Amino acid sequence: MLEDYERTLLAAQGYCELGMFEDSLAELQTLPEEARRHPTVLELRVVILMQAKRWKTALSASRELCKVDPTRPTGYIHASYCLHELGRTGDARDFLLNGPDTLHSEPTFHYNLACYECQLGHLELARIHLDKSFELDKHFKDFAKTDPDLARLRQ
């Protein structure tokens, strides 16, 4: 189904990469309703909204993605990140922890939990999740060196 709309999706992605978020979202709006509800399109919408720092709308779209495809880990990861950006870090942690078991094999799941636990003052739990993220993907070590959410762990 999405093959028919490849140009539109590429245009939306391109606009997003250029920081032209309204144009990017407008491209997605040209798609038929059925295509707009496809998990790949919903995820692209979430990414655009997050890049635009429209956290409340991105949270709503992320939750919709979780409903449409509850096995897709990115909906839960993005929704929890939006909650964190909205200052609801405890809710972000809880939302992520209540996601599907498939999340546990995702390095971003553990990295984000490390950030949330650190911000909540649970440094031992933060360290456990951070180490697990490193085990799953060593690139997270580079992020951790400068991530302000992990500053308390670096002290």
Which of 61, 88, 115 is the C-terminal boundary of a domain?
88
Which residue range is the domain that position 133 belongs to? 106-155
- pTM of the entire predicted model: 0.93
**CA angle centred on 120, ends 152 and 47, rounded to 5°:** 95
Number of helical H runs and strand E runs in the chain: 11, 0
Measured CA to CA, the distance from residue 10 to residue 67 in angstroms comes to 25
Is position 10 within any domain? yes
Q: Which residue has the tokens 């949330």?
A: 116
Residues 136, 81, single domain; the answer is no
| Domains in the chain, number | 2
Residues 15 and 84 both lie in one domain: yes
Cα torsion for 129, 132, 137, 139, to the nearest 10°?
50
Model confidence pLDDT, tens digit, residues 136-145: 999 999 999 9
| Stretch 119-148: mean pLDDT | 97
